[in-house]
Amino acid sequence: MTQLTIKASKQMSKAQALAFYDALAAAIPNPTTELNFNSPFELLTAVLLSAQATDISVNKASIGLFSLANTPQAMIELGLEGIKEKIKTIGLFNSKAKHLLETCEILVTRFNGEVPRTRPELESLPGVGRKTANVLLNTLWGEPTIAVDTHLFRLGNRTGLAVGKTPLDVEKKLMLITPKQHLKDAHHLLILHGRYVCTARNPKCDDCVAKKSCNGIADKNCLINAVMTH
C-alpha cells in the first residue's frame, strides 16, 4: 500500500466533464496502452508485472520473457527460476514471478489455457485485483471499465473530474460523470494525460488542452489522504 496526499478540487459538472474529455480525445486520437503485447495472455502478464513499475521497464523485460514463453503452458515449463531470471530488472520480481506461475497453472487447469472474460474469473487469478481486471476488460474486449491507478486517482482529485478518498470512490464517480461516447477510451485518455501532462510533480498546466474545464487551477486548498492498493 502507498500513502498518498492528493490535492482535491471542487467536483466538476457534467458539462465541464464533457468539455474535458472532448479536449483530451481531440489531442489523443488513438488512446491505448503503452504495454507491448500480442495476445490476451501477454497483456495479462504485462499488467501483472506492471504493479509499481513503469511500462518502459516492463516492455524491456517482457521481450525476453515472451520470446521463451508466450503461453501459460510455456510459462509453466519455463519455471519459477526461469521467470525470475527474465524479470529480475522489475521491482518485486520475486512475488510477481510467483503470482505469474500460479496464474498460469490456473489458466491451464481451469480455463483451457485462455484468459477468462468475466470480472469474477479474472479476479480469481493470483495478483489480479479490480484495477487489473478493469484494464483487461477494457483493453482486450472494449468494455466500458475505468481502472483507477495512481495517475487516475491524482488526476480525478486534482482536476475535480472525480473527487474521492479511495480508488473505488474515484472509479464510481468517473463511471457516472464520463459521457457515454467517451467511456470506452476514458481509461487510456486519462492515464496518458496523467502520465505526460497532469504529472505528479510540476504538472504542465500551460500545455494542458483541457485546462479551461479544470477546477484544479482555482482550487488547491483541500488535502485528501488516501490509501492506494493494487
Query: How is the chain split into domains, by residue range?
Result: 2-32+144-228, 40-141
Cell numbers 488512446 correspond to what residue?
Answer: 31
| 180 among known catalytic residues | no
pLDDT of residue 226: 38
190 Cβ contact partners less than 8 Å away, ≥ 6 residues apart: 24, 146, 151, 152, 155, 156, 161, 174
Is the CATH code 1.10.1670.10 the one for domain 2-32+144-228?
yes
- Annotated catalytic residue: which of 149, 169, 173, 185? 149
With beta carbons less than 8 A apart as the criterion, state whether 143 and 117 touch: no
pLDDT of residue 6: 59
Assigned CATH for 40-141: 1.10.340.30
pLDDT < 50: residue spans in the chain:
1-3, 220-230
- Annotated catalytic residue: which of 131, 169, 173, 185? 131
Q: How many residues does the chain have?
A: 230
Give the side-chain half-sphere CA count within 13 A for 152.
25
Give the side-chain half-sphere CA count within 13 A for 119.
11
145 Cβ contact partners less than 8 Å away, ≥ 6 residues apart: 133, 134, 137, 138, 187
| 131 among known catalytic residues | yes
pTM: 0.87
The values of phi and psi at residue 226, to 5°, are: -140, 155
CA 22 – CA 43 distance, rounded (Å):
28
